[in-house]
Amino acid sequence: MEFAFAPTEPRSAEPGLISWDGPALSAVFFDIDDTLIDFSSAAQQALATMIGRADMWPLWESVTEAHVAMVVAGGIDYPNMHRERTKVFLAELGADVDDDGAARFERRRAAVMHEGFRVFDDVLPCLDWLRAAGIRIAAVTNASGGHQRAKLERLGLSRFIDHVAIAGEVGAAKPDPLIFHSACAALDCDPGQALHVGDRLRTDAVGARDAGLTGAWLDRVGMPTDLPSGVHVISGLEELPELLVCEFARLGAPAPR
């Protein structure tokens, strides 16, 4: 996969030439699951392996989202959330298990899932390009910090990431502006100097836009939808360099302080 765009220089303001006083880009933020890493394929296969059927993924997602909200609200920690989530899910299938049974199920499911994780083919060329352009990189995720950091390290992505913003650690989950602003603070940039990319239109792209960042929706499958105003859409990360060159006056410029 080739990236044809090189880091740009500030546009000339010499008489007779067009200049643009647009913002300088300091940082790009990425969602992790299903943006950098193919999470859903591995997770769906692992769940189907555990329960012997492939039609329960929507229920698993619904139960998971409800329990992650409890973590963000401070009502439960991630290890207990994983166990309680599994108990609720299995109860919906008519299987009542105790804490030990839920923990065993979760360990086996996680082991199968982790074996199936892979980095999307367009990720490493994109991260290499951003590094060459002098742009700082953050990961912004609503999932468990321990799991996400270990996943980034195991798949060779942590060397690119300057900061990881975790919803449970920040105390706010996407699309809350606070989690985006926490990443901006960590990388010492203003929201207007950052772009966030994620696979969820409302949670990632619209949430970033509403927080004052540039929001980009990564729509790998071409979902039909009305795109909200002020939000960009790309079908793969190979399109990100062109978007950045078009939207920002300078790439990799230091944030003014």
Domain boundaries, the chain: 24-38+118-251, 39-116
Q: Is CATH 3.40.50.1000 the right assignment for the domain spanning 24-38+118-251?
A: yes
Gap between the Cα atoms of 213 and 247, Å rounded? 12
Find the helix or strand (DSSP H, E) in which 7 lies. none
**Does domain 39-116 fall into CATH 1.10.10?**
no
- pLDDT < 70 positions in the chain: 1-22, 253-257
Whole-number pLDDT of residue 74: 85
The answer to whether 130 and 30 have CB atoms below 8 angstroms apart is no
Long-range contacts of 15-24 (CB under 8 A, 24+ apart): 20/249, 21/249, 22/247, 22/248, 22/249, 23/192, 23/193, 23/248, 23/249, 24/193, 24/248, 24/249, 24/250, 24/251, 24/253, 24/255
The whole-model pTM stands at 0.84
Helix, strand, coil percentages for the chain (3-state, nearest 5): 50, 15, 40
